[in-house]
Structures are given as structure tokens and as C-alpha cells.
Structure 1
């Protein structure tokens, strides 16, 4: 396995074929999750970004919305609960949930571990993960470290810079 960490500011000037072998991609640790980006906005001409995320039971996003992009979740292993605009969804391995832009949503890992693909379109929001995460040292979920969790006010401000809005803490 190899971990590729390309500069966050690199921008593709033209669309090119992208072929990312298994176990490769730009890997980061982000607030307790392992995210391996299989395609970045820079690599797709800002059309989309695609990440494989792995997290442990209880990992959850705050309630938020995106003003610029739609998100699609495809569960590779495990189970998530995803609330979109007040409606709860429970995708398990092989399940897909689509969240259109502008709708409040949050997600939580319900199984011991879950691994899923998250697709954002159009591209751009992946920059937030790169700005607020750090290069992964290994392809595994990082050990809990309180230093990896920034001040919630800083999270809100950083999300807003990418067109998102944090509406509240993760659901219990």
C-alpha cells in the first residue's frame, strides 16, 4: 500500500484520465476518520471529488448543509444512519443515499466500523478536508487524539468558507 499526498494547492488545467489503484490515493486523517481521496477536484476539473472514508462506531458529522454541492454516500462495509431534512435513512453494505444541496443532513457510524464512498459534485468542498485534516501516517483509522478536534467555532468558520453551514452538533 502506498499513500500519496499531493499539494493542496495543485490544480489540474485540463481533464485527464485518472486511474487510482487499490490502496492508493491522497490519504488524510480528519477529525477521527481515515479519508482516502480517489479523485480530487483538482484532478477532475472541479467536476467532483470522491473519497473512501473509514470510521469507527459513533463517528458523526454535525448537522450541516452545502450550498454549492450535492453529496452521495455509498456504503462499502458496515452501517450508517443518515438524516436528511428530518428523514432518517439506514444504509448498510451496498446501500446508497443521495443528499441534494441545501438540505440539512448528518451521518453517524452505527456498526463497529464502517467504510463508505462519499462523492461531492461539483468539486471544491474537498479543499475543506485538506485544509482541516493532516496527512495519514498509515491507512487506518487514527487513534483518538483530542488535539485533532479543533474549536467548534473554527470548524463553523472554515466550513462557511467552502459554502457550507453548520446548523448544530451531531445527533445523539
Structure 2
């Protein structure tokens, strides 16, 4: 029996267990082979370019592919600099360092991560990061749920981006808390 079929059957018998919502919130069929998209190394899902000044961003999984469930990006060529200290109102942000060394501030704590390390920025907790290694860093970031992050990055990863003040962050369901972190 397929997992989804099992969940739907179980949901009919145990609706109070929350299985009904889980079973029905996902599509009823697995993706067909023509719906599966491989995004090769060094490529953006839509072959676009997105620069934040301190890195280039590759969109790997788009919100529309997961019904808004997640958005995954890859930062390449990550150098010293980074986003201002901010928090997300409605999503977690998970970071996985693939190359280099990256300093994170999450809440009041600071942690330096190396290739293979990961850390979660929980919703509602201020966070930021900056590459601190001798070589440019590379990392993957996943947003769950996707929220308005694709729109935010499209609005800011352009030449001459708009002023990113508190009102701008609120438009994308985030709060601006402070300046970027820089290694001392």
C-alpha cells in the first residue's frame, strides 16, 4: 500500500490524530518523471543570476514546487558581509556550510561553522551570518515554510536594490533587528 493511501485510510479511522489534514494537505500522486527537475552543480533552477554583494545566490527548490512548503537556495562565493540581524515571523531558516568558515549569530550566541556543519535559525529568533575564512564560503539555506523569501531575494539581489529598512523587512514578514555581523 502506498504511503499516501495508507495515510488517507488511517485518517478515515482516526481523524482526531491529525492524520486527515496531513494526508489531504499533500498531493495525491507522486510526481511523474517529467515533473522531477535536476538542478546541476553551479546552476540556478531557472538559470537566473541573483547577487547580494557578499555572495551569489542560486535558487535550487522554488516555493511553487513544494506548495509553499520550502524554498532552498545556495550561496556561492560567500565573502565577508551578510544580511542585517533579522528574524522571520513565520519560518525557520536552516543553514548548511559546504565550504569555508561562516560566523553565525543566532539570538545572543555566536558560533563559527565549518564545512559539514549546520545550524537552525528558529522563527522569531534574530540571526545573521558572515563568511570569515580565507577562501570564499558556500552554503545551502532552506526556509520552511517558504513564506515570502523568494520575493524578498528577487527584490534585493539586484543592482541598486531598494533601501532595506524596517518597513521593507515587514513587507516580507521579517523584522529588522540590527546591523550585519562582521568578524573581528
TM bin (shorter chain): 0.7 to 0.9
Higher strand share: 1
Structure 2 stretches of 5 or more lacking a match?
1-26
The one of 66, 72, 92 aligned to 1:44: 66
Q: Structure 1 residue 118 and structure 2 residue 141: aligned?
A: yes
Distance 2:60 2:78 in 1: 20
Contact 1:18 1:43 (8 Å CA) reproduced: no
Q: Structure 1 residue 168 and structure 2 residue 175: aligned?
A: no
Match of 1:54 in 2: 76
Distance 1:113 1:79 in 2: 8
The one of 151, 154, 161 aligned to 2:163: 151
Aligned-residue CA RMSD in angstroms?
1.9
Match of 1:21 in 2: 40
Match of 1:128 in 2: 152
Residues matched between the structures, number:
145
Moved more, 115-124 or 26-35: 26-35
TM norm structure 1: 0.76
Structure 1 residue 56: Cα displacement: 4.0
Structure 1 residue 23: Cα displacement: 2.7
Higher helix share: 2
In structure 2, relative to structure 1, the CA distance for the partners of 1:21 and 1:56 (3 Å cut) is closer
Contact 1:31 1:148 (8 Å CA) reproduced: no
In structure 2, relative to structure 1, the CA distance for the partners of 1:77 and 1:24 (3 Å cut) is same
Structure 1 stretches of 5 or more lacking a match?
1-13, 135-146
Other structure's SS at 1:59 match: coil
TM norm structure 2: 0.71
Higher relative contact order (CA 8 A, sep 6+): 1
